[in-house]
């Protein structure tokens, strides 16, 4: 078993991306994520910013973000959490129960990306593939 995506939602996140990896950069990114090439990673409210060491002396700058939920989607999620003390306690313990995915899909809210256009990502490296191996490395660490 991979050391990335140890939770059900981490595995779902990586599986969703495996299905859309046309450039075959995810395996190379997994190596970068596992060998310490990601020098820093900051998970902010709107994006993840990271520095990933590549073949050049200075680390590459990577940014990864998903589109935020709309106001309606946010209210739907909040109502679901407020109506379930068990769900709230699990979320407060940094756990995402599997039934949340069903609940969101019933409301037409996508939790995981379907295509790379669903992710806003950039890297300062010269590779034009989406994702490049540096972005892929950051994605693996996000899955954890």
Report whether pLDDT(7) > 90. no
State pLDDT tens for residues 38-93. 999 999 988 999 999 998 999 999 999 988 889 999 999 888 888 888 888 888 88
What's residue 88's pLDDT? 86
Average model confidence (pLDDT) across the chain = 86
Span 96-120, average pLDDT = 82
Span 97-124, average pLDDT = 84
- Burial of residue 121, with CB atoms counted within 10 A of its CB: 0-12 exposed, 13-18 middle, 19 or more buried: buried
Token pair of 129 as six digits? 């593939």
3-state secondary structure the chain: CCCCCCCHHHHHHHHHHHCCCCCCCHHHHHHHHHCCCEEEEEECCCCEEEEECCCCCCCEEEEEEECCCCHHHHHHHHHHHHCCHHHHHHHHCCCCCCHHHHHHHHCCCCCCCCCHHHEEEEECCCCCCCCCHHHHHHHHHHHC
Q: Is-contact 115 66, C-beta < 8 A?
A: no
Residues above pLDDT 90, as percent of the chain: 37
Report whether pLDDT(1) > 50. no
- Burial of residue 52, with CB atoms counted within 10 A of its CB: 0-12 exposed, 13-18 middle, 19 or more buried: buried
Higher per-residue pLDDT: 46 or 118: 46
What's residue 118's pLDDT? 80
What's residue 22's pLDDT? 64
Higher per-residue pLDDT: 137 or 6: 137
């Amino acid at each position: 078993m991979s050391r990335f995506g140890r939770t059900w939602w981490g595995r779902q996140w990586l599986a969703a991306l495996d299905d859309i990896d046309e450039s075959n950069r995810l395996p190379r990114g997994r190596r970068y994520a596992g060998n310490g090439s990601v020098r820093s990673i900051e998970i902010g409210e709107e994006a993840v910013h990271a520095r990933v060491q590549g073949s050049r002396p200075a680390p590459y700058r990577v940014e990864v973000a998903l589109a935020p939920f709309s106001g309606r989607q946010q209210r739907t999620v909040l109502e679901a959490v407020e109506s379930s003390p068990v769900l709230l306690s699990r979320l407060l313990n940094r756990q995402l129960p599997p039934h949340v995915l069903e609940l969101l899909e019933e409301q037409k809210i996508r939790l995981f990306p379907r295509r790379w256009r669903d992710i806003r990502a950039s890297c300062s490296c010269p590779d034009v593939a989406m994702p490049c191996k540096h972005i892929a490395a950051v994605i693996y660490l996000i899955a954890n």
